């Protein structure tokens, strides 16, 4: 089974373009699944075709007994289901034993986002007398102005920026490319950063890393934790929300668009969502806001 898992992870990296964090999560989930199978089959050798629906259900029950939340169990089931889709695709097995397994129902959390005054204040915080501060401002403006994912920002190349047409090209999940509009503030922030970026390159960046847009203070390609710390610092200065990740700015991008009347399907395309139902989660946020405004403003509310 170990050989099958490694070929699966290689497939996720090469063909599905999954991020390092996603691969790590899948590895952890499937490692737990492998450990359960060893226990389930008494550490005896078993064929991958022997794993049936009952085995999957027992795995889920084992996780719940160990104290995992329904959300965690649902994610681990999704990992196993994805692995078996790959096995069916590569003709290793004929049927996916997870197909008719019902995912544990979990309460969907509404997206956390910043209000518009907080965004305005946050954008004024980076120190624009330093190249690091100018870079930070460009990162914040791009997250909020384009709604891109962390992985999409990190992989952004200089050739992906088209200032003539005010667009940028990103490579999303599953190697799906999309062209996004580049707003005036994000464009200005990017141009200001690119004018000073050579100062970071001069600090020592490899030939392979040179085309990458965002560099660290040491002239290396930015890594996920580095961007997270940057965003966390600035969000923390303007808000007391618990989550302060780059994804909060992506949520804010979508919520503010819908608050100002953007079409839901257009927002779906901008975010790169495969399903409209994923984007519809943001409508709950806007409806909640409308109800609050109604309660505050209507005399009969």
pLDDT, position 120: 97
Catalytic-role residue among 16, 173, 185, 289: 173
Give 10-residue mean pLDDT values along the chain (301 residues): 87 83 90 89 75 92 90 92 94 90 78 92 97 97 95 93 95 84 96 93 60 88 92 95 91 91 90 84 72 70 57
pTM: 0.69
196 is an active site residue: no
243 is an active site residue: no
Catalytic-role residue among 135, 149, 187, 256: 149
Catalytic-role residue among 26, 84, 193, 282: 282
pLDDT, position 88: 94
Q: Where are the domains of the chain?
A: 2-89, 116-296
For 2-89, CATH gives 1.10.150
One-letter-per-residue 3-state SS of the chain = CHHHHHHHHHHHHHCCCCCHHHHHHHHHHHHHHHHHHHHHCCCCCCCHHHCCHHHHHHHHHHHHHCCCCHHHHHHHHHHHHHHHHHHHHCCCCCCCCCCCCCCCCCCCCCCCCCCHHHHHHHHCCCCCCCHHHHHHHHHHHHHHHHCCCHHHHHCCEHHHEECCCCEEEEECHHHCEEEEECCHHHHHHHHHHHHHCHHHHCCCCCCCCCCECCECCCCCECCHHHHHHHHHHHHHHHCCCCCCCHHHHHHHHHHHHHHCCCCHHHHHHHHCCCCHHHHHHHHHHHHHHHHHHHHHHCCCC
What's 116-296's CATH class? mainly alpha
pLDDT, position 221: 87
81 is an active site residue: no
pLDDT, position 157: 94
250 is an active site residue: yes
149 is an active site residue: yes
């Amino acid at each position: 089974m170990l050989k099958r898992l490694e070929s699966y992870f290689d497939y996720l990296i090469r063909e599905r373009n999954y991020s390092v964090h996603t691969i790590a999560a899948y590895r952890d989930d499937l490692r737990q699944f492998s450990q359960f199978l060893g226990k389930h089959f008494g550490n005896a050798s078993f064929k991958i075709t022997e794993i049936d629906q009952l085995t999957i259900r027992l795995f889920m029950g084992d996780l719940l007994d160990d104290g995992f939340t329904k959300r965690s169990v649902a994610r681990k089931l999704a990992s196993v289901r994805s692995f078996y889709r790959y096995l069916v695709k590569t003709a290793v097995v004929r049927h996916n034993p997870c197909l008719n397994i019902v995912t544990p129902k979990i309460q969907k959390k509404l997206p956390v986002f910043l209000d518009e005054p907080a965004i305005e204040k946050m954008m004024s915080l980076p120190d624009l007398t330093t190249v690091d501060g100018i870079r930070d401002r460009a990162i914040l403006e791009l997250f909020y102005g384009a709604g891109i994912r962390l992985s999409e920002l990190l992989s952004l190349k200089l050739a992906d920026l088209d200032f003539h047409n005010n667009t940028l090209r990103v490579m999303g999940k599953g190697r799906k490319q999309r062209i996004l509009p580049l707003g005036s503030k994000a464009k200005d922030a990017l141009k200001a950063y690119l004018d000073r970026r050579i100062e970071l390159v001069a600090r020592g960046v490899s030939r392979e890393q040179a085309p990458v847009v965002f560099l660290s203070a040491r002239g290396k390609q930015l890594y996920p934790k580095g961007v997270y710390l940057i965003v966390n610092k600035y969000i923390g200065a303007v808000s007391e929300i618990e989550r302060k990740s780059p994804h909060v700015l992506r949520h804010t991008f979508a919520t503010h668009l819908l608050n100002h009347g953007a079409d839901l399907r257009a927002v779906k395309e901008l975010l790169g969502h495969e399903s409209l139902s994923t984007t519809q989660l943001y409508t709950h946020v806007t409806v909640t806001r409308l109800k609050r405004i109604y309660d505050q403003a209507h005399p009969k509310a």
